[in-house]
Chains A and B, each alone.
Chain A
């Protein structure tokens, strides 16, 4: 289904019709295969499962959750969970546990647990080509300066070094010359923020003549 057709389906009354379950399920399969992602379509499908509970397909639900997991650190996973009836929560435990490990940034146990989740093998993009999968998720965290480094010093987070990070270039990071596995992260933003703030707070607070006059006009008339 083309994106235009999908958009039309989602904005019309067909969105709430049982006939839309099949195309939306097909859309999810497609997402798993090609690595594309559409939160809107997936939420619409979960909503249809709520409206027509007898049509619920647990495998599809799991697939949707895995796709949402990969959107970390966005809160897509929670958004999906709000729409899944509690009776399925137990069966989906392996995936929900993954999500909570990720939320709590326990990466070691997260990657360990991923090995045991069958569904993940079907999800394209989870294991990024030529790169340790660690990064796919970790990078999102690194986008926000998870572990920063003053220029010229080594990166603090050991797991990053091991991973051979691909945050170079686009993040303004670089590798040290002596140790290829060490990254230098730019902390300019962090430093400049300090300076700017210090400056701002030193500015004298002046009041113009006009303000004085207004004040006194108000005071005398009161």
Chain B
């Protein structure tokens, strides 16, 4: 979630070192806060820690450490040394305090190289502590609220990501013979080293035994802390999420999906429900991996699910401080959804269609026309911020491209888009027929018959995707994902066109009203009122005409939960309405007798 913050920190840490040592003044409120935090950590009082973390820390940051005021008050929380001297030297408390300290620097200020190294070393300490606790298997030294656990791991990867960005920028500056931090970089090769980050996460996951827990939460043989300690379980679980993200950032989508093999999608209340950011992050990276694997149908479903979920909970999550980032992710997911539906048209939830129509009409139209630069624009906006895992040791003249990771993914993606290019055209001709001669189709498509046969084969191949029904994210059967199905018989193409029609009730009320007005029909309530079956998308062979709705009754589409019924009817007056209702109720009673 945190990967969208801008980070251009190139400032070196040299200036801080030269400052004369002076007694750091810790304001009373902050002193009090730190004392309480230390106590709650010691007593493992999770609700208290949660309050301190979610509310007090932000309030104090806002009040005392909002921006640099003068030379001595530089907008940072008190340095860790001062806190150690004045509050406590409890090691765990200090590690967690530093975690907050560096996080504050990253979010409000320009991190210096010292900050980056400090944050790395601190995370190493914390994760090593966790791993050794988990391996011993008694109890975690630390008990934290879920939000903080999520944030620790999320920030860990975010700091890694910004470090890679910083490193590439530095090398780029160096290549142009400009002033840079290259010496600091060379002197500290192991700071945020990709293999180390990956291996920390992997060890954390393995030691927590989270995968065994997810495979079989009720197992008799409860080895591993994931079974006993909620904090340990969440460290493992969010570790999986960050691993998913790491693999995606490196462009390894297959491994990314393998990481979430055992995620509890089938549970009534999966663990990712706890933290909205986790919910969104999981679906974002999962959907993106599907997109890159050309499993567009699965990608569409993944994005659509989470977008609908977000719209339902938008009121609830507003308070979360990550709200803005979630909005941004939502926007990105809409972009990816637009891309997917342009490549593989699928029926969408009506509310999403409406959003697309309202918010992105121009992008939608451009994608439908197949404009390559629109695909590029949206992809670049919505893709994760890919990282280059390492820098080759020989940086020859001009060979270093600091944006290589992003360009690699983009170019490969655009290549796929290009290959899909001809499909819509050939399908749109085929939709018009149930059978036709290859020669005629060739004529329509302006190509020779031989070329057309190749093209048909290509359509056959490209319209088939793996689609997941249930099971692990990578599972799935290859199936047809197109409105047109066909086969060749000698020189004839036989076609089954499946036109997806919307169920009556999916047509929005707005549209209905429009129709009423146009035809001038004021609906009257009568015995001939028709009520449709519960809405379901149906595949129909023949175009279906919506009957002129009279007193149309719509049942809103809902996923899960009991079906709620509501009636929206246009009546000439309330009296007529009530009269008809009582008549109808009589009728029902008679019929029942």
Instruction: Select from chain B the residue with minimum beta-carbon distance to A86.
Output: B408
Residue pair A222, B588 in contact (C-beta under 8 Å)? no
Whether B588 and A213, one on each chain, are in contact in the complex, defined by CB atoms closer than 8 angstroms, is: yes
Q: Are B478 and A144 in contact (CB under 8 A)?
A: yes
- Partner pick for B390 among A53, A148, A156, A219, CB 8 A cutoff: A53
- B490-A201 in contact (CB<8A): no
Contact of A148 among B462, B487, B553 (CB under 8 A): B487
On whether A190 and B485 interact (CB within 8 A), knowing A16-B202, A146-B457, the answer reads yes
Interface mask (B247-264 → A, CB under 8 Å = 1, otherwise 0) = 000111111001000000
A156-B194 contact given A81-B412, A216-B581, CB 8 Å threshold: no
| Complex-state Cα separation, A87 to B396, whole angstroms | 13
> Chain B 385-424, CB within 8 Å of chain A: the 1/0 string?
0000111111000010100100111011001100100000
> B567 to A201, Cβ gap below 8 A?
no
**Interface size counted on chain B using CB atoms at 8 A:** 73
From A39, A51, A73, contact of B254 by CB (8 A) = A39
Asked whether, in the complex, the Cβ of A83 is within 8 Å of the Cβ of B251, the reply is yes
Chain B residues whose C-beta falls within 8 Å of the C-beta of A114 in the assembled complex: none
The segment from A103-111, A120-128, A168-176 that touches chain B is: A103-111
A interface residues, tally (CB under 8 Å): 71
Query: DSSP class of A's interface residues: helix, strand, loop or mixed?
Result: helix
Given A104-B458, A209-B592, A214-B565, verify A51-B194 contact (CB < 8 Å).
yes
Determine if A51 and B389 form an interchain contact, defined as CB atoms under 8 angstroms apart.
Answer: yes
- With a CB–CB cut-off of 8 A, which chain A residues contact B268? none
Q: Is the CB of A147 within 8 A of B487?
A: yes
Partner of A75, one of B199, B294, B480: B294
Question: Complex Cα distance A104/B457, Å?
Answer: 8
* Neighbour of A150 across the interface among B489, B538, B592, CB < 8 A: B489
Mask for B477-521, Cβ within 8 A of A = 1, else 0?
010100001011111000010100000000000000000000000
Q: In the complex, which of the residues A18, A104, A206, A215 contacts B454, with contact meaning CB atoms closer than 8 Å?
A: A104
Question: A43 and B252: CB pair below 8 A?
Answer: yes
State how many angstroms separate the Cβ of A142 from the closest Cβ of chain B. Answer: 10
From the candidates B394, B409, B419, B581, name the one contacting A104 in the complex (CB within 8 A).
Answer: B419
The CA of A85 and the CA of B253, in the complex, are separated in Å by 15
In this assembly, does A116 line the interface, its C-beta being within 8 Å of a C-beta of chain B?
no
Query: Which of A27-35, A58-66, A191-199 lies on the face that meets chain B?
Result: A191-199
Indicate if B566 sits at the interface (CB-CB under 8 A).
yes
Q: How far, in Å, is A219 (CB) from chain B's closest CB?
A: 4
Point out the residue from B394, B457, B480 that lies within 8 Å of A141, measured CB to CB.
Answer: B457
| Residues of chain B contacted by A149 (CB below 8 angstroms) | 487, 489
Q: Which residue of B lies closest to A46 (CB)?
A: B252
From residue A216, how far is it (CB to closest CB) to chain B in Å? 6
A78 and B293 CA atoms in complex are apart in Å by: 7
| A2 at the binding interface (Cβ < 8 Å) | no
Q: Does B191 contact A (CB under 8 A)?
A: no
Residues of A within 8 A of B466 (CB): 74
The reply on B112 being an interface residue by CB < 8 A is no
Whether the pair B454, A16 counts as a contact (CB closer than 8 A) is: no
Q: How far is the CB of B475 from chain A (nearest CB, A)?
A: 13
Q: Which of B250, B292, B485, B488 contacts A78 (CB 8 A)?
A: B292
Contact code string A71-97 (vs B, CB < 8 Å = 1, else 0): 001110011011111110000000000
Interface residues of B in 446-489 (CB under 8 A from A): 453-454, 457-458, 460-462, 464, 466, 478, 480, 485, 487-489
Q: Write 28 A-B pairs (CB below 8 A) sorted by A numbering.
A: A12-B206, A13-B206, A15-B198, A17-B199, A47-B255, A47-B389, A51-B195, A53-B391, A73-B478, A75-B293, A82-B253, A83-B251, A84-B408, A86-B411, A100-B419, A104-B458, A149-B487, A156-B489, A190-B485, A190-B487, A193-B485, A197-B541, A205-B533, A209-B592, A212-B531, A213-B588, A218-B567, A222-B566
- Interface residues, chain B, with chain A CB atoms under 8 Å away: 194-195, 198-199, 202-203, 206, 250-255, 258, 292-294, 389-394, 399, 401, 404, 407-409, 411-412, 415-416, 419, 453-454, 457-458, 460-462, 464, 466, 478, 480, 485, 487-491, 496, 498, 531-533, 538-542, 553, 564-567, 569, 581, 584-585, 588, 591-592
